[in-house]
Structure formats: structure tokens, C-alpha cells
Amino acid sequence: MGLNNMHKLFWRFFLVFWATLLMAVILVRLTFTWDNSSRLLPPENMLPAGAFFFATPSIPATPLIAAQSINPTDLPASIDISRHPVPPFWRHPLLHLSVLLAASILFSWVLARNIAAPVGQLKLALAGLAANNWRTQLGPELITRRDEFGSLSRNFNQMAGQAAEAIASQRRLLHDVSHELRSPLARMQILTGLAAQSPSYAAIAMEKIEQEASKLDELVTEILTFSRLESGAVSAEHIDINLAELVSSVCDDARLEADSSNKSLWLHLENVPLIKGDPSLLYSAIENVIRNAVKYTPPYSEVSVCLRQHQHQLSLQVRDQGPGVPPQYLSKLFTPFFRAQSNHNGIGLGLSIAKRATEACNGSIVVANIMTNNEITGFSVVISLPLNSSLIQLP
């Protein structure tokens, strides 16, 4: 199929190129002549520019005489005006036409091949994507080009890589969600059976069943929240929020979880002004960040939460003393369903939800490892939110 396309391009370029050359030759032949005899020459001083180029050097030059003043008796006897001069072979029109024909064929073939070859490879790559081969990539012979095909090839590889990562993330989601749902359901089924067999165990079983149901509800809520944020179905409100109260409420709940795991949570709140935002979205973002910190910090360590005003924005910094994240994974932490440490529970949506919720409130979120003596000693997340324009005091 690619060869057929190349043939079509070849003939199109060839016909256009050759038609242009042929028109040029016809115009030249209509303007000038290879015959330098003096049969009907233009009037004196009216010769077209460049006519001397077609004069034949092998024939003695003859002064040009106006046609109306020609007198055969005045011509030298050695010149036969009935004889047409024959140009040398390197000036013959047929040779020129042959050279132009060969050049046009070569030009059209090279141009058609230069266009058809990358187009054919792109077509095969797109066919691979259509066949669900999402890891299709174009080779270095295309991506190293410095023309439009090179740029298109690099963009294609980037698009295919992102599509492959998205497909892999969805597959991981199906696996992780099914696992996360199946585990509490299986435990609830066991607890129900034990409660039926031993009525004395019913109270304990019901308490544990309630805990498992709470985990299921939390998981489903997290998935639904991310789905709504990703699809744009959530319309963020912009009302006055006391961020200090919101952070304090989240920390009260997280402190219970930290205390049960022999971890401590330290909170520092400055007197900050109100901001505009969506309370539910910001609560979800802050809760995901603080609960992640409590989850990954080791026992007998501390999680610090600090809220302060920095210039024209509020900054919420959450630091833990956990193992951090390998540097090569930092840029992927906000990718949905990505987990830098697979040995922890969760499906990798916490930071993705936090990022989208923060951006919906015109804020930003930044993550980084805490380094001490070139070693990772913790992890830091900073959420920045703009102040109300009416509260910003201009100097």
C-alpha cells in the first residue's frame, strides 16, 4: 500500500514538474531561434535581450541588418543564406529536453520517496494503535528528522506512550479495585458466618463488619470523587473559607488514626485571612495529603502540619518522616492509580484527587523529598492557595 502511494505521488510531482519545464521550453522556442541566418530579423536595436546566447560560435558572425534594407548583392559571396546552421550537439534542443526529462524523473522520485516513506511508517503505526497495540513506537530514523515529519513522529511517540500508560493504569485500576473490594467483602462474609454459628460472637462480629463496611464506603467514595473531578462534572464553589478551621478539623480526625499506630501529629496554625474556594474539594485534598503522611510515616515518628501566609497566598506544608519517594517516581505521583510503594494499601488516587481539587480552587500542589546529608529522611507536600484580591494590601 505504501509503494502504491509513492507511485501516485511520483506521477503527480513528475507531471507538475515536467509540465512546468515544457511550458518554459515552449516559451523560449517561441522567443528565440537556433537559426542565426538573416532571413527576417527584427529591426535594428529591437533584438530581445539574451538573443546573443543562442548564436552559434562555429558560424562566422554576420552583422545584423534590418529586414527592410536587405540587398542580396551586398552580402558576401562566401555566405549561403539558404543554408541553415546546425548547432553543436551540446546545444541541441533534444539533448536539453532529455536532460530535463531525466532530472524531472529523478526529482519526482526522490521527492515522492521522501514523503511516502514516513507517511507509510506513520500509517503502519496508526494501524498498530487501531489493533490495540498501544506500545507502538516510531523508529529513530523518523524521530531524529528535523522537519515536520520528525516533529510529527515525536508527537506520535509521546501520544502513544501516554495512551499506553493510561491503558495500563485502567488495567491496574480494575485489578486494584477488585482486590480492594473483594478483601473486605470476604472478611464480612466470614464474620457473618461466625456470628451465625456463635451468637456470643455476634456483637464483636457486627463491630468488625461495620469497620469493613466503612472501608468499602471510603474506597467507593474515593473512586467516585476522582471520576467526577476527572470528567469535569464537579463545579467548584468559590465562597469564603476559614482554611485554619478546615485544616484543624482534618487533623483532629487524622490524629486518632495516628495515635492508634503510635505516631504523633504536630499542628501549627498562624492567624490567616479567609480565602475563596470550595470547602468540600479543599477538605478532600487536605485530608488525602495528611492521611497519606500518617500512613507512610513509621511508628514513633512525627507528622508536622503547618499553615502560614506567604506573600499573597496561603501555604499548607505537610511533612512526614517516612521513606520518601525514589526521585524517578516524583513526577508520576499525580498520575492516577500510580503507587510508588506497592506494599501499602490504597489504589493510588489520593494525590491525584488532591491535585485536581486544589487546581479547581485556583491553587497548586508541590511534592518533594526531605534530604539530610544527601539521604532521604522524609517527604513534603505543599499546597498553595491564593488570597482574596480584596485582602491583598498593595504597597
C-alpha span between 251 and 287 (Å, rounded): 8
C-alpha span between 69 and 61 (Å, rounded): 19
Return the C-alpha torsion angle 342, 346, 348, 350, nearest 10: -140
**Better-predicted residue by pLDDT, 49 or 179:** 179
C-alpha span between 336 and 180 (Å, rounded): 16
pLDDT band at 365 (very low <50, low <70, confident <90, very high): very high
Residue 287 backbone dihedrals phi, psi, to 5 degrees: -65, -45
pLDDT band at 393 (very low <50, low <70, confident <90, very high): very low
Q: Give the sheet arrangement for strand 375-386, strand by strand.
A: 264-269, 302-310, 313-320, 375-386, 364-372
pLDDT band at 96 (very low <50, low <70, confident <90, very high): low
User: Is 90 exceeded by the pLDDT of residue 310?
Assistant: no
Cβ neighbour number for residue 34 with a 10 Å cutoff: 15
Evaluated on CA atoms 174, 176, 177, 181, the torsion sign reads positive
Decide if domain 148-231 falls under CATH 2.60.40. Answer: no
C-alpha span between 363 and 306 (Å, rounded): 17
9 grid coordinates: 505521488
Question: What's the angle, vertex CA 63, arms to CA 61 and CA 66, rounded to 5?
Answer: 140
Asked whether the beta carbons of 385 and 270 are under 8 A apart, the reply is no
**Better-predicted residue by pLDDT, 230 or 352:** 352
Q: Is 81 helix (H, G, I), strand (E, B) or coil?
A: coil
What is the per-residue DSSP string for 200-251? GGHHHHHHHHHHHHHHHHHHHHHHHHHHHHHHT------EEE-HHHHHHHHH
Of the CA atoms within 13 Å of residue 127, those in its CB half-sphere come to: 8
What is residue 332's predicted lDDT score, i.e. its pLDDT? 84
DSSP, res 340: S
What is residue 266's predicted lDDT score, i.e. its pLDDT? 95
Decide if domain 239-391 falls under CATH 3.30.565.10. Answer: yes
pLDDT band at 370 (very low <50, low <70, confident <90, very high): very high
**Better-predicted residue by pLDDT, 241 or 146:** 241
pLDDT band at 54 (very low <50, low <70, confident <90, very high): very low
pLDDT band at 246 (very low <50, low <70, confident <90, very high): very high
What is residue 3's predicted lDDT score, i.e. its pLDDT? 58
C-alpha span between 274 and 258 (Å, rounded): 28
C-alpha span between 267 and 260 (Å, rounded): 18
User: Is 50 exceeded by the pLDDT of residue 166?
Assistant: yes
Radius of gyration of the chain (CA): 41
Asked whether the beta carbons of 353 and 282 are under 8 A apart, the reply is no
For the chain, the structural domain boundaries read 2-132, 148-231, 239-391
153 grid coordinates: 513522529
What is residue 93's predicted lDDT score, i.e. its pLDDT? 64
pLDDT band at 37 (very low <50, low <70, confident <90, very high): very low
pLDDT band at 40 (very low <50, low <70, confident <90, very high): very low
User: Is 60 exceeded by the pLDDT of residue 33?
Assistant: no
Q: Compute the average pLDDT of residues 20-38.
A: 58
**Better-predicted residue by pLDDT, 113 or 160:** 160
Q: Compute the average pLDDT of residues 177-189.
A: 79
Per the confidence metrics, is the pTM higher than 0.95?
no
Checking DSSP bridges between strand 275-277 and strand 375-386, what pairing results, if any?
unpaired
**Better-predicted residue by pLDDT, 175 or 321:** 321
**Better-predicted residue by pLDDT, 268 or 210:** 268
